[in-house]
């Protein structure tokens, strides 16, 4: 291709910018419940997220990437004009990155998935033609945006009810917390290990059978439980602490669990949302390297996953604190036990979606889970003003992403044609 090198440089630069936006806005969601419930400090959250977001993006990020890269636009229509797809993918990255920057500046937790999907649909419908958009695939993605917060909300509600019945509403909550929390820790370790093994290890060439996969996941779950149990054993009952807040000692035990679920959520998020930044990059690289072949089947290069993972971590470290404050403290009052239920429900939903290749919105999933926990305590526990503001920012994300993308598409087309 004539401007191949320039396209590659632009794809990497815009991809990094978009990944930065994912880190600044979306990763903040992943960590918000842990910070809001005071189970971890902002500094600890950033360290946890940096490690586990990177691991999730790098090990398990390839499945969703293929949907963003090839699933939404009918590339067969572009066989003779591959440069249009290149302009479109570059425009999509730039428009989604700019919108994420604006939203993060105001502390709005918007959906990076909405941003990139809206941008791709915008350029394809206007720049190529309505028929170029695979509307049935877009329909599936849009359905997942409704289903995922509902699923997360239901799981979070059920988890919190189980915590109330087994621990909080019993005669000896502290003793029961020490007894049951290790089982919850096992659940977290097992679920995340299972998905990593079956989805992530394919990228690095490790293909385990189903039996072997379950055995390794079981061992991982047990190992995490053992470490958690050692931490819980060190927590002694302090009668003074319970004077101001009846469950202060119980929440200390849940704080250990919250550390584990924070790691799980960061991993799950990295695996699902890295695709938003690197899917379009992968599409551009594939077209340029094949000399303009649009439908070329190509493996996802490892270095592209690395760009996404690095950009996400930088975004979180430099600008993530604004959205952490909104989701962690302003929707509903979170304690470690409530935060755990929200985070595990969201992580489980994201992990299921990653496994099926469906790019869901982590933001909506997590907000759905936080709402589920709030609902378990009654509608009065929710801050409806903040929730309304969040919902509004979700609604405008799609059209804003689409409009910006169309503008940048025609600018790039004018520059390079």
Note whether 4 and 288 are within 8 A (CB): yes
Nearest alpha-carbon partner for 178 in 255, 253, 260, 256: 253
Residue 134 in this model has a pLDDT that exceeds 90? no
pTM score = 0.79
Residue 199 in this model has a pLDDT that exceeds 70? no
Q: Residue 213 in 3-state DSSP?
A: helix
Cα(85)–Cα(78) distance, integer angstroms: 7
Note whether 276 and 116 are within 8 A (CB): yes
Helix axes of 302-319 and 248-289: crossing angle, nearest 10 degrees: 140
pLDDT at residue number 218: 93
CB atoms within 10 A of CB 416: 16
DSSP for 182-208, please give it. Answer: HHHHHHHHHHHHHHIIIIITTTTT---
pLDDT at residue number 292: 67
DSSP for 352-380, please give it. Answer: HHHHHT----HHHHHHHHHHHHHHHT-GG
**Exposure string over 362-387, b if 16+ CB within 10 A, otherwise e:** bbbbbbbbbbbbbbbeeeeebeeebb
Pull the structure tokens for residue 160. 């919190």
Q: Dump pLDDT digits (tens) for 230-279.
A: 988 888 888 777 666 667 888 888 888 888 877 877 877 777 677 778 88
Note whether 273 and 22 are within 8 A (CB): yes
Cα(54)–Cα(271) distance, integer angstroms: 9
pLDDT at residue number 404: 95
Torsional sign, CA 102, 106, 112, 115: negative
Q: Residue 328 in 3-state DSSP?
A: helix
The more confidently predicted of residues 30 and 20 is 20
Q: Given its phi and psi angles, is residue 110 left (phi above 0), alpha (psi -120 to 50 degrees) or beta?
A: beta
Mean pLDDT of 214-236: 90
**Exposure string over 108-128, b if 16+ CB within 10 A, otherwise e:** bbbbbbbbbbbbbbbbbbbbb
């Amino acid at each position: 291709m004539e401007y191949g090198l320039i396209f590659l440089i632009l794809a990497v630069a815009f991809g990094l910018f978009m990944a930065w936006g994912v880190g600044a806005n979306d990763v903040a969601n992943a960590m918000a419940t842990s910070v809001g419930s005071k189970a971890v400090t902002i500094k600890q959250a950033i360290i946890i997220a940096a490690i586990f977001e990177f691991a999730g993006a790098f090990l398990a990020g390839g499945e969703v990437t293929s949907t963003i890269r090839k699933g939404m636009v009918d590339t067969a229509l572009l066989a003779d004009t591959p440069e249009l797809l290149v302009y479109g993918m570059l425009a999509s990255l730039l428009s989604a990155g700019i919108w994420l920057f604006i939203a993060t500046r105001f502390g709005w937790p918007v959906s990076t998935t909405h941003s990139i999907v809206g941008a791709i649909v915008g350029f394809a419908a206007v720049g190529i033609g309505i028929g170029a958009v695979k509307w049935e695939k877009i329909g599936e993605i849009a359905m997942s945006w409704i289903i995922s917060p509902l699923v997360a909300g239901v799981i979070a509600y059920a988890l919190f009810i189980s915590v109330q019945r087994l621990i909080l509403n019993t005669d000896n909550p502290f003793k029961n917390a020490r007894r049951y929390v290790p089982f919850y820790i096992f659940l977290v370790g097992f679920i995340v290990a299972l998905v990593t093994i079956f989805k992530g290890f394919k990228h690095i060439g490790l293909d385990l059978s189903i039996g072997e996969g379950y055995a390794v996941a079981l061992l991982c779950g047990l190992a995490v439980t053992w470490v958690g149990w050692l931490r819980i054993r060190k927590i002694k009952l302090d009668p003074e602490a319970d004077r101001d807040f009846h469950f202060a000692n119980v929440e200390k035990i849940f704080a250990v669990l919250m550390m584990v679920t924070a790691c799980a959520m960061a991993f799950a998020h990295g695996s699902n949302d890295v695709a938003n930044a690197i899917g379009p990059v992968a599409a551009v690289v594939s077209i340029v390297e094949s000399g303009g072949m649009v439908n070329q089947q190509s493996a996802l290069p490892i270095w592209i996953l690395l760009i996404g993972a690095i950009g996400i971590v930088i975004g979180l470290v430099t600008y993530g604190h604004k959205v952490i404050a909104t989701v962690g403290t302003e929707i509903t009052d979170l304690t470690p036990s409530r935060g755990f239920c929200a985070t595990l429900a969201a992580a489980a939903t994201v992990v299921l979606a990653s496994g099926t290749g469906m790019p869901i919105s982590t933001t909506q999933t997590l907000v759905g889970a936080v709402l589920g926990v709030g609902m378990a305590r009654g509608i009065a526990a929710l801050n409806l003003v903040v929730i309304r503001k969040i919902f509004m920012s979700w609604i405008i994300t799609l059209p804003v992403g689409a409009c910006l993308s169309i503008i940048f598409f025609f600018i790039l087309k004018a520059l390079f044609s």
